[in-house]
Amino acid sequence: MTTYSAPVTDMQFVQQELAGLNEIATLPGFEEASTELVETVLEEASRLAGEVLTPLNRVGDTEGARVEGDRVLLPDGFGEAYSELTEGGWLSLVHNPEYGGQGLPQVVSMSVEEMWNSANLSLSLCPLLTKGAIEAIEAHAEAPLKDTYLPMLISGEWSATMNLTEPQAGSDLAAVRTEATREGGHYRIRGQKIYITWGEHELTENIIHLVLARLPDAPPGVGGISLFLVPKYLPNEDGSPGERNDLKVVSIEHKLGINASPTCVMSFGEGEGALGYLVGEENRGLACMFTMMNDARIGVGVQGLALCERAYQQAVAYAKDRVQGNLPGEPERVAIIKHADVRRMLMVMKAQTEACRAVAYASAAAADYFKHHAEADARALNRSRLDLLTPIVKGWCTEVSQEVTSLGIQVHGGMGFVEETGAAQYYRDARITTIYEGTTGIQAGDLVGRKVMRDGGEAMQALLAEMADCAAEGGFGWEDALSQAIKQLAEATQWLLAHGADDVHSPGAASFNFLMLAGTVVGGWQMARSAQAARRLIDSGSDNAGFYNAKIATARFYADHLLSRAAAYQAAATVGSASTMALSDEQF
């Protein structure tokens, strides 16, 4: 198993040349985000990822989390590692300084989150959920709740969870049965939730559960769901954890991967009822929860990217070390990295990883502009761009991670199938990323239904126009290939707008291939932009020409071997639903 080394040079390149960090740093509130500060943040985060989190990754996988009574115990070293993150202020980077955050751009924070996820996905899941809860509480809660809970969550002294799923209600949240009853200025919560990530542990002094529940007089369906903040310990007047609330862990799941991340069955209100506080308005809880869910969806997309990077690094190290076979003109047996097919696999891994990084960081840039730009029109434009990119980042990057981590095993050959090498863990850990926080099918349906058809394709048309401008500018050598792929995405978009309402099954039948088409083309656009930037830097006499030439060559490989997939995705996305729905239930 290799030691993880954060790709700081590539992260800085994407931040500055593709995401536009220098311009973002001029937005109100980002005045402190100097080049020197960002470099220091990335260098120190890289050290922590490599020296503190990475050594625990294998330990976490083999030891896993376990339940003893009403306690969840974690593998050795996890508590100390989490303490280093909180004591160093690492969990507060992106948050509001009003509540103790550092107020850095999301583009910077995303690089750090990528490092944590590459180094140790299981441990990184804890702050990921807390980050989303902070977003939801700050956006929707009343001031007293913000003042009590946000400083402790932002510091990392307390953590948070998302409680949606129930045994009878997976993605269908209309079927939620957890009950909430009014009691003075608060509520009593009773019910059971499943698949609650980091639902119980002892890393933090308190755990804050955001729980979807239904009031007795609520209307049916998702329009009758409310959101409640339910702390493990009720805070005392001085803010310290006080009396234990009426909630507990029932069990944790035994999973394919992320074994050190406790996935809990949680019971609320077996006694007098768990005390909870309303977040937002009654019966408007799903809209509030979507603030947390959308943040988490981008975060899971970054997990897919991070596992691609980790699998790629391991595969490269193995391919350079493993000697096997001969080549014409070589007097001795060669390392397998010399073989063309191994090179092909490594290049697929490298190109897809770099494309995912660029697309994910583009979403972070849109979030920064949406939240901080002084002009309303610019905020609106970037809000629609972020909305459009969210299902692409979550859906496409995690689907790519399935291919990349699988190729990582293939590069190792038989040793990849042996757990001791570590390659299999990345594959197993990656498998959940296409499932939680909304499956790929849900992301694809969201992209087609809400982000394309609902607004008449307006946001997609703006993106297509920007990509077409890049192709027209040229300077990267495969302009025709990019133009053709953009045209294929545009034609698929028009097909959806023209035919999506003709057949109830058409959007669903088209959605996965449309998502993969969109991700592939947007990734190709970002790779073209990276090649343009690399060429400019070489021409200007910048140092590190080897790195920039590698960017150009990798972008070319993406065009030759990956962007060409767009034609197949377009064909499948526009063929209609007849063959998909042809069989009866009994014929399966």
Q: Which residues are catalytic?
A: 437
SS3 467: helix
Selection from 210, 219, 212 nearest residue 166 by Cα: 212
What is the chain's length?
588
Secondary structure of residue 172 in the 3-state scheme:
coil
Would you tell me the crossing angle of helices 506-539 and 340-372 to the nearest 10 degrees?
90
CB 349 within 8 A of CB 406: no
- How are the residues of the chain apportioned to helix, strand and coil, as percentages rounded to the nearest 5? 60, 15, 25
| Continuous segment of H or E residues that includes residue 517 | helix 506-539
CA–CA distance, 36 with 53 (Å, rounded to integer): 25
Please tell me the distance from the alpha carbon of residue 562 to that of residue 556, in angstroms, as a whole number. Answer: 10
Give the separation between CA 401 and CA 433, rounded to whole angstroms: 8
User: How far from 157 is each of 83, 87, 151, 536, CA to CA, in Å?
Assistant: 9, 9, 9, 45
Task: Please say whether the beta carbons of 514 and 391 come within 8 A.
Answer: no
Identify the CA nearest to 137 among candidates 126, 148, 127: 148
**Helix ranges, 374-478 (H):** 376-412, 423-430, 440-445, 458-473
Are 182 and 123 within 8 A, CB to CB? no
Q: CA dihedral in degrees (554, 559, 565, 571; nearest 10)?
A: 160
Tell me how far the alpha carbon of residue 286 is from its chain's centroid.
Answer: 20
Q: Are 317 and 2 in contact (CB under 8 A)?
A: yes
Report whether 201 contacts 74 (CB < 8 A): yes
Q: How many CA atoms lie within 13 A of 463 on its CB side?
A: 30
Q: Cα–Cα distance between 268 and 246 in angstroms, integer?
A: 6
